């Protein structure tokens, strides 16, 4: 994941086009993916800069989660390439937590992996939890958390380390209305701090919150608009 070479101007229209140029953090070029004979993605192109949010939309089976996994380096494309400049934080739809660890233990484990000291990791984890209106009980193992709070823990762990690029796969599953609003407040804070954020969503009212929209249809990727 080296520095992305400069290939000239962006090839995608976005609401951010009128802002001053920002550092290119992720470039996907002609990304296609086949599972056996079934083609899930075809020629997906995207450029994501620091301080931008892109919403990824599309019908079930359009390859949204597959595209994020490719961008995260979890699976390889059948063709095309993804170049990333910086570190990646990834929040899956489900999973990502350990059943027998408590929230604070998750904060320390994931924070230490990013070079944070124990106290700093705990403080950072609790600060983000507070932004999501959650005060985790450190006596409770994650297997006993509600679905919404477990997903909040997933979100916290994905952003805890201050990654340059954040890939969030429908991260607010199980959130109530207030938590959903809090989540977008966190995204805007991250955007304002210069992070590049990609969010999969089925909520059409989310689109006005994004600088770009990547609209995927099965085996037919349309550029961001």
Rounded to an integer, the average pLDDT of 156-184 is 88
Flag whether pLDDT at 4 surpasses 60: no
Q: Are 179 and 103 in contact (CB under 8 A)?
A: no
9-18, 121-130, 145-154: the lowest-pLDDT one: 9-18
Give the distance, in angstroms, between the CA of residue 222 and the centroid of all CA atoms in the same chain: 20
pTM above 0.85, yes or no: no
Q: In the prediction, which pLDDT does 218 show?
A: 65
Q: Is 213 exposed, middle or buried (0-12, 13-18, 19+ CB in 10 A)?
A: buried
Q: Which run of H or E residues covers position 82?
A: strand 79-84
Q: How far is CA 214 from CA 36, 41, 131, 182, in A?
A: 25, 13, 27, 23
Compute the distance between CA of residue 59 and CA of residue 61 in angstroms, rounded to an integer: 6
Q: In the prediction, which pLDDT does 21 show?
A: 56
200 beta partners: 56, 169
Neighbours of 198 (CB within 10 A): 27
**pLDDT tens digit sequence for 182-209:** 988 899 999 999 999 999 987 766 677 7
Domains and CATH numbers, the chain: 1-87+206-225 (3.40.50.300)
Q: Tokens standing for 3?
A: 């520095």
**pLDDT tens digit sequence for 71-119:** 999 999 999 999 999 999 999 887 778 999 999 999 999 999 888 999 9
Q: Are 157 and 109 in contact (CB under 8 A)?
A: no
Q: Are 101 and 136 in contact (CB under 8 A)?
A: no
Q: What share of the chain in percent tops pLDDT 70?
A: 86
């Amino acid at each position: 994941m080296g520095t992305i070479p400069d290939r000239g101007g962006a090839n995608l229209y976005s609401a951010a086009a009128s802002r001053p140029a920002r550092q290119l953090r992720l470039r996907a070029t002609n990304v296609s993916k086949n599972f056996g004979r079934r083609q899930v993605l075809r020629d997906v192109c995207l450029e994501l800069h620091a301080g931008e949010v892109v919403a990824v939309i599309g019908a079930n089976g359009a390859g949204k989660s597959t595209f994020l996994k490719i961008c995260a380096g979890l699976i390889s494309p059948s063709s095309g390439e993804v170049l990333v400049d910086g570190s990646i934080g990834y929040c899956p739809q489900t999973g990502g937590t350990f059943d027998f660890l408590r929230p604070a233990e998750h904060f320390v484990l994931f924070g230490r992996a990013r070079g944070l000291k124990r106290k700093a990791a705990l403080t950072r984890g609790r600060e983000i939890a507070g932004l999501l209106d959650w005060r985790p009980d450190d006596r409770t193992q994650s297997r006993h958390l509600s679905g919404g709070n477990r997903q909040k823990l997933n979100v916290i762990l994905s952003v805890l380390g201050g990654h340059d690029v954040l890939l969030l796969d429908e991260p607010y599953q199980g959130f109530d209305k207030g938590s959903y609003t809090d989540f977008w407040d966190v995204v805007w804070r991250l955007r304002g701090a210069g992070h590049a954020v990609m969010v999969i969503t089925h909520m059409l009212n989310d689109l006005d919150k994004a600088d770009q929209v990547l609209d995927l249809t099965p085996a037919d990727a349309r550029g961001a608009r």
